[in-house]
């Protein structure tokens, strides 16, 4: 099997806490509920735009060759990320699932660097010519050594210049947000334990023609889900206590490939959900409950809540 192992930390620890039914968080009678659905007449929730810096860590190739990904490839990845988070009609990110939702979260490459200088939002670092004293096993500290922008202002994304033998085995990693939401202990630690952000194997970043079920840029969509607080649908692999999202049917074990299965409750699993290990080609779904959870993180979590007003957006 060439599947990546589950990489969330502390899978065994019981996620205690109040079972907040996120999808029903606004059930008060005359409270404005701010639904995510595009129901005519409802006022739509604000679109959050988050600035991204892509640190392209490469092996010394010219721009556009090998792991030194082209600007076009990076732009295409950001486009795919937006299609997916906006459930954009006419793109692979669209779905007509009854619980499918437009997250109304968008991403742009940063246009101002820390300090205010103009930037393309893409940094290129030749790892073959840059000493790095950090052990490579300490993934986030290792990549952050090549560059790390204030995580309260930027979503840091690093592309990893891994050998071809790592293709389809290592896809990506993300740290989770600091939050009161149940289950967040199942995500990898970020600040203050270690630098936080998203790592993606360069081979799986953006669309490409590599022979792989993971060549359509969905690894970043999945990792961004973790970065904004989402768990895999199977969470800690316990039917009762899975991803703490009500409208993703519970499932005990990882959803792999595009073949639907029956989950814990007898309901079919959501093979199309981005928070599975399914192939890029069958993914198109964030649910209303997942969107509630991600927006809650953006609204309340340290180093997430400042992103929509970041000076990195150039505003």
Spatial separation of the C-alpha atoms in residues 283 and 213, rounded to whole Å: 11
Residue 245's binding partner, choosing from ligand ARG, Ca ion, none, with beta-carbon cut-off 5 to 8 A by kind? Answer: Ca ion
- The conformation of residue 213, written as its DSSP 8-state character, comes to T
CB closest to Ca ion, residue no: 248
Residue 102's binding partner, choosing from Ca ion, ligand ARG, none, with beta-carbon cut-off 5 to 8 A by kind? Answer: none
Residue 223 falls in the annotated catalytic set: yes
Closer to ligand ARG by CB, 155 or 283: give it.
283
Closer to Ca ion by CB, 206 or 250: give it.
250
Residue 290's binding partner, choosing from Ca ion, ligand ARG, none, with beta-carbon cut-off 5 to 8 A by kind? Answer: none
Indicate left, alpha or beta for 115 from its phi (over 0: left) and psi (-120 to 50: alpha).
Answer: left
Helix segments in the chain, DSSP class H: 71-85, 139-144, 218-227, 288-300
Among candidate residues 196, 223, 292, 296, the one labeled active-site is 223
Spatial separation of the C-alpha atoms in residues 201 and 81, rounded to whole Å: 16
Query: For the range 64-69, what are the long-range contacts, defined as Cβ-Cβ under 8 Å and sequence gap of 24 or more?
Result: 66/161, 66/202, 67/159, 67/161, 67/162, 67/202, 67/203, 68/124, 69/159, 69/202, 69/205, 69/206
Closer to ligand ARG by CB, 112 or 232: give it.
232
Q: Work out how close the CB of 220 gets to ligand ARG at its nearest, in angstroms, rounded to a whole number.
A: 8
Q: What's the count of helices (H) and strands (E) in the chain, helices before strands?
A: 4, 6
Q: Work out how close the CB of 134 gets to Ca ion at its nearest, in angstroms, rounded to a whole number.
A: 37
Closer to ligand ARG by CB, 185 or 279: give it.
279
| Positions that interact with ligand ARG (CB under 6 A) | 4, 7, 171-172, 214, 218-219, 222-223, 277-280, 283
| Positions that interact with Ca ion (CB under 5 A) | 242-243, 245, 248
Indicate which residues carry an active-site annotation: 223
């Amino acid at each position: 099997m060439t599947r990546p192992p589950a990489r969330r930390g502390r899978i065994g620890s019981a996620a205690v806490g109040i079972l907040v039914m996120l999808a029903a968080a606004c059930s008060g009678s005359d409270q404005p509920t701010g639904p995510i659905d595009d129901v005519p007449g409802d006022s739509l929730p604000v679109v959050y735009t988050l600035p991204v810096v892509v640190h392209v860590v490469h092996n010394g190739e010219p721009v556009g060759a090998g792991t030194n990904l082209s600007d076009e490839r990076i732009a295409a990845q950001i486009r795919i990320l937006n299609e997916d988070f906006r459930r954009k009609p006419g793109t692979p990110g669209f779905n007509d699932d009854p619980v499918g939702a437009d997250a109304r979260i968008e991403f742009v490459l940063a246009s101002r660097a820390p300090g205010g200088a103009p930037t393309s939002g893409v940094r290129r670092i030749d790892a073959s010519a840059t000493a790095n004293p950090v052990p490579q096993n300490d993934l986030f500290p290792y990549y952050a050594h090549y560059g790390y922008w204030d995580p309260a202002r930027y979503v840091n994304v690093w592309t990893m210049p891994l050998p071809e033998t790592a293709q389809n085995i290592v896809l990506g990693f993300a740290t989770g947000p600091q939050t009161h939401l149940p289950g967040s202990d199942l995500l990898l630690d970020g600040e203050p334990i270690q630098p936080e952000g998203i790592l993606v194997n360069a081979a799986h970043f953006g669309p490409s023609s590599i022979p792989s079920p993971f060549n359509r840029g969905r690894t970043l969509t999945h990792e961004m889900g973790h970065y904004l607080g989402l768990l895999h649908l199977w969470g800690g692999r316990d039917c009762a206590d899975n991803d703490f999202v009500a409208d993703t049917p519970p499932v005990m074990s990882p959803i792999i490939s595009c073949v639907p299965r029956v989950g814990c409750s007898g309901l079919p699993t959501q093979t199309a959900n981005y928070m599975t290990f399914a192939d890029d080609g069958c993914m198109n779904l964030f649910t209303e409950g997942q969107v509630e959870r991600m927006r809650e993180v953006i609204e309340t979590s340290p180093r997430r809540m400042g992103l929509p007003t970041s000076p990195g957006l150039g505003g």
